[in-house]
Amino acid sequence: MAQPPVDSDVDVVILGAGSGGYACALRAAQLGLSVVLVEQDKLGGTCLHVGCIPTKALLHAAELADGARESEQFGVRATFEGVDADRVVAYADGVVGRLHKGLTGLIGSRGITVVSGAGTLTGPHEVTVDGTAYRGRNVVLATGSEPRLLPGIEVDGTRILTSDHALRLDPLPSSAIVLGGGVIGCEFASLWRSFGIEVTVVEALPRLVPPEDAASSAALQRAFRKRGIDVRTGATVESAKATDTGVEVVTGDATLTADVLLVAVGRAPRTEGLGYAEQGVTLERGFVVVDERCATGVDGVWAVGDIVPGLQLAHRGFQQGIYVAEQIAGLVPRPIDERGIPRVTYSRPEVASVGITEEQAVAEHGADGVRTLTYDLAGNGRSQILKTQGFVKLVRKVDGPVLGIHLVGDRVGELIGEAQLIYGWEAHPEDVAPLVHAHPTQNEALGEAHLALAGKPLHTHD
């Protein structure tokens, strides 16, 4: 597309075309605004190319590997002969490619001017790319994140990896150490184990997926150990280095060796060297400080996605992008409830949640002001068919709405949509109990849990 004249203003210039940036661009264009979208790499950003989509494609391949390996228990004779890493990557690339083609076409059809190149903020309303300035009445910062590294651990892309490298391993290693028991670490640990790799997870905090409810963390840890994944929580890494044969990781009480080490200790905001601070944008630990409207302290400058403190999730950035575009267009959209953002760890079993944990609820309302209920998936027909274990845990305010919903089990991430509606509408268990859930589905587990919490348990003991 032709680039606009340097001396002309558009309604909005967006720096970064990941989930937050492209969503903002699409919604702004839909509302009749003129848009310049700057991206140094590919439209779609981290999520589409090296994050959500390719990792979930690999996880689906891992699910098929487990299905072949465990088919006898369902009366199906099948054999697991191994994983062709090259073809698995090709399959994931195919998914990414189709989605990227669709997104590119969609953005092109909306009249959005796409500028390829590395942009920097060179004025309150100006982004410069390769010496050319693009001025907008509004600027949206959406430069995303990158794998966080640890001092003293040198990533080489061969023995010591980030998640970007881990997506394209060929051949697969026979053993791996995963440094970090958060979402990224647990997903890679899970899929690698399904591919037949011996996996050790090292997490400095006392439990896996620390932001989740303690019951969910404990259930995931039990399931991992049952699958043969060595989980070491409360373990601090003293050193990690590549050797001639693999890697060596020294913790407080052990020396661990493996073929590869994945550094999965979170993601850092990509804000350094982009001119943000120089133009008056406030940064804290590299993150852009914004108010509840995603506005920075600089008039007309907004920020969305992983560079904003909070959950680093693609769907959060996506919604923030829409929210900002609507404000720029003069609408008054409803503010985003950060607690209402659904969270899913796509491991085996999956962990999903929305709202707050029991610990958070007790801190806010007191132990006597909170009631919880856990419905075991053993009582759910569909879960029995799938041979998955787990639960639905509800946290409610006494005589009040449901404050948190926490799920563990295979495929429970698909239940988070209804869970989000329950939380978002501030529903009481009594409001959900009359809803009819199809049988046999895992959604029934949500219905049964709310029936029980409403004082009408059928397949559970109150």
Which residues are annotated as catalytic? Answer: 439
**CA 99, CA 138: separation in Å to the nearest integer?**
28
Residue 187: CB atoms within 10 A of its CB come to: 24
**CA 286, CA 268: separation in Å to the nearest integer?**
8
Phi/psi of residue 247, nearest 5 degrees:
-135, 155
**CA 283, CA 141: separation in Å to the nearest integer?**
12
Phi/psi of residue 305, nearest 5 degrees:
85, -150
CA-based nearest residue to 320, from 18, 22, 17, 24: 24
E strands, 285-424, where?
287-288, 301-303, 343-345, 350-355, 370-376, 391-397, 402-409
Q: In this structure, what is the dihedral angle of CA atoms 44, 49, 50, 51, given to the nearest 10 degrees?
A: 50
Cβ(393)–Cβ(372) under 8 Å?
yes
**CA 417, CA 411: separation in Å to the nearest integer?**
12
E strands, 98-246, where?
113-116, 119-123, 126-129, 132-141, 145-147, 160-161, 175-179, 198-203, 230-233, 237-242
CA-based nearest residue to 328, from 306, 304, 312: 304
